[in-house]
């Protein structure tokens, strides 16, 4: 009952005219930033943080603005992923697997509207979880140390080979290529230059924007150029703009399961929406079995990552508010916003600044309603992007890609690297390597290395720490099971074939 009173107090803060206007502005800006390939929520929040402080906004209003941008970016990332096969950020990578095939089938409107509702359900379920379970889940998240995080990421990569696609070897090879790209740059611990080939431009490593735009955007442009001689369009324009009741029922429990899983994963500091979307997608594919068409335009393959990444975004606020530990890169920027106002996030924040905490939580409900109302009517406008012919679309995508990459360091080297990675990605796609696995390997690579180093520092170099807790043992067992899945599927299929031949 006390929690409901605090929540009501939060709604009183969030519904003030200024805060409602700020939430509307943040949701719109976030959607646009999320739509642009490679930017993502961290850049969106970082761009508006100085503006919020310069305008002298009170702390609760500033947090409401940043939270609205955060949620808007998670909504917006799906748009370019579905329409152009170019994810807005890492969390939208899994959305491309089934979202883009749906668009190619003339179902872009259905995919966009269903993904908007999936995002809404994921965020609302997770926000309810924040209200009800914040203290409990914060204590559970503390049980994950560096060793547990390292093994969790091993499990995530093992899941790629076990569940994504029909070519587990190519899937794992793509993930390993991504891990290899993540090692380029200066070693943060020893200061040694790794795989830079004497180039100063590679000393900071390869930026995520360059990787995602190169592998997805440039390779997609090259694939489009194959079709320009026949005057084909990139994909067919959609006829129906909204999903129907049958399609909603078909994906409803997928949304619920993925939202719950994404919320729990989001409470783990550093886990983030990328891992949440990948693991829920794999889980739903496993549950569907032979009845699914994952990778070919399955609605459940679209709903699962969209519900999960938005739920994870809300869940990541729990460690930020209760422990003062960022649940994701974006919440790390939001912690910076709190420190600008001399507010220290942690257990005492709920007692000392209830208006800030509960105003933020209440604004999540309001922000999600604003985003749903904003996104559904725009489905028709977004879908019209598909009627643009290749001779217009190819230069437009190329221009956006060049501007996005050049804005990182303002160097021509980044542009050359983008083109090189794009050609490499084009060849991988022609050889049927899944680029989504490569991007996930790249995103997880730095986190894996950092957590492995921390774990070995704690144990003074003893590798036993990697299997020294019940959590790590369970994760290792699950990873082994996932790696064995392709072999088990092959054995079962072979056995079924022999039985059919015997009965015949």
For the stretch 400-454, pLDDT in tens is 778 767 776 778 888 888 889 889 988 988 888 877 678 777 877 877 888 888 8
What is the helix (H) or strand (E) element at residue 185, kind and residue range? strand 185-186
| Per-domain residue ranges of the chain | 15-503
Mean pLDDT for the stretch of residues 219-246: 65
d(CA 380, CA 223): 26
Closest CA to 451 of 462, 469, 441, 466: 466
| 429 vs 80: CA distance, rounded Å | 19
Give the residue with greater pLDDT, 251 vs 325.
Answer: 251
504 or 157, greater pLDDT? 157
pLDDT of 237 > 60? The answer is: no
User: 339: Cβ–Cβ under 8 A, 6 or more apart, which residues?
Assistant: none
CA 360 – CA 71 distance, rounded (Å): 12
Taking all residues of the chain, what is their mean pLDDT, rounded to a whole number?
A: 79
Highest-confidence segment of 5-14, 32-41, 401-410: 5-14
d(CA 344, CA 320): 10
34 close to 62: Cβ distance less than 8 angstroms: no
Give pLDDT, residue 106.
Answer: 81
Q: Stretch 199-214: mean pLDDT, rounded?
A: 79
Q: In angstroms, rounded to a whole number, what is the distance separating the alpha carbons of residues 53 and 42?
A: 17
How many Cβ atoms are within 10 Å of 24's Cβ, its own excluded? 17
Token look-up 């999903």 returns 243
- The whole-angstrom distance between residue 435's C-alpha and the CA centroid of its chain comes to 15
Residue 36 has pLDDT above 90, yes or no: no
Counting Cα atoms < 13 Å in the Cβ hemisphere of 453 gives 10
Q: Summarize the confidence of residues 60-65 as an average pLDDT.
A: 89
Q: Which residues are bridge partners to 194 per DSSP?
A: 185
**Closest C-alpha among 91, 69, 75 to residue 382:** 75
Whether residue 235 has pLDDT greater than 50:
no
DSSP letter string, 119-170: HHHHHHHHHHHHHHHHHHHHHHHTT--HHHHHHHHHHHHHHHHHHSSS-HHH
What's the number of CA atoms in the CB half-sphere (13 Å) around residue 275? 29
CA distances from 111 to 103, 106, 297 (A): 7, 10, 9
> Quick one: average pLDDT of 203-229?
75
| Helices and strands of the chain, counted as H and E runs | 22, 2
pLDDT for position 140: 63
Q: Helix, strand or coil for residue 233?
A: strand
This prediction's pTM: 0.68
Q: Which residues pair with 389 in a beta bridge?
A: 233
Angle at 339 between CA 335 and CA 343, to 5 degrees: 100
Tokens of 108: 């872009």
pLDDT above 50: residue 119: yes
Q: How far is CA 213 from the centre of its chain?
A: 15
Quote the pLDDT of residue 369: 92
User: Is residue 193 helix, strand or coil?
Assistant: strand
As a whole number of angstroms, the distance between CA 46 and CA 44 comes to: 6
Q: Does residue 389 register a pLDDT over 50?
A: yes
């Amino acid at each position: 009952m006390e929690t409901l009173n605090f929540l009501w107090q939060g709604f009183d803060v969030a519904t003030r005219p200024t805060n409602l206007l700020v939430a509307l502005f943040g949701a719109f800006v976030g959607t646009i930033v999320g739509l642009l390939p490679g930017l993502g929520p961290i850049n969106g929040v970082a761009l508006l943080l100085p503006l919020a402080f310069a305008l002298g906004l009170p702390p609760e209003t500033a947090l409401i603005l940043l939270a609205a941008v955060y949620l808007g970016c998670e909504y917006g990332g799906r748009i370019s992923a579905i329409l152009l096969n170019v994810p807005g950020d890492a969390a939208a990578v899994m959305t491309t697997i089934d979202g883009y095939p749906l668009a190619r089938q003339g179902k872009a409107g259905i995919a966009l509207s269903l993904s908007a509702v999936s995002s809404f359900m994921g965020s609302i379920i997770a926000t309810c979880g924040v209200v009800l379970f914040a203290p409990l889940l914060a204590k559970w998240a503390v049980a994950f140390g560096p060793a547990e995080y390292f093994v969790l990421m091993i499990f995530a990569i093992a899941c790629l080979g076990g569940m994504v696609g029909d070519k587990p070897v190519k899937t794992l090879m793509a993930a390993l290529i991504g891990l290899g790209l993540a090692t380029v740059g200066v070693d943060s611990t020893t200061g040694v230059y790794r795989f830079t080939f004497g180039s100063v431009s590679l000393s900071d490593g390869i930026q995520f924007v360059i990787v995602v735009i190169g592998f997805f955007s440039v390779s997609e442009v090259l694939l489009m150029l194959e079709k320009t001689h026949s005057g084909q369009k990139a994909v067919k324009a959609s006829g129906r703009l909204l999903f129907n009741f049958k399609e909603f029922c078909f994906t409803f429990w997928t949304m619920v399961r993925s939202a719950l899983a994404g919320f729990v994963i989001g409470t783990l500091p550093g886990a983030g929406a990328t891992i949440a979307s990948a693991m829920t997608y794999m889980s739903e594919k496993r549950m569907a079995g032979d009845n699914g068409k994952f990778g070919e335009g399955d609605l459940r393959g679209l709903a699962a990552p969209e519900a999960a990444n938005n739920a994870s975004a809300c869940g990541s606020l729990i460690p930020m508010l209760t422990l003062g530990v960022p649940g994701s890169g974006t919440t790390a920027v939001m912690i910076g916003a709190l420190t600008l106002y001399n507010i220290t996030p942690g257990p005492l924040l709920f007692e000392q600044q209830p208006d800030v905490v509960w105003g933020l939580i209440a604004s999540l409900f309001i922000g999600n309603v604003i985003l749903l109302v904003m996104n559904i009517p725009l489905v028709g406008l977004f879908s019209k992007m598909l009627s643009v012919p290749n001779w217009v679309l190819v230069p437009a995508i190329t221009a956006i890609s060049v501007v996005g990459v050049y804005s990182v360091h303002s160097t021509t080297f980044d542009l050359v690297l983008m083109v090189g990675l794009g050609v490499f990605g084009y060849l991988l796609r022609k050889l049927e390597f899944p680029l989504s696995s490569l991007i996930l390997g790249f995103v997880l690579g730095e986190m894996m290395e950092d957590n492995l180093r921390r774990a070995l520092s704690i144990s003074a170099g003893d590798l036993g720490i990697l299997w020294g807790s019940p959590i790590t043992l369970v994760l290792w067992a699950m990873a082994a099971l996932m790696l064995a899945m392709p072999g088990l599927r092959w054995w079962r299929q072979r056995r079924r074939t022999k039985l059919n031949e015997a009965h015949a």
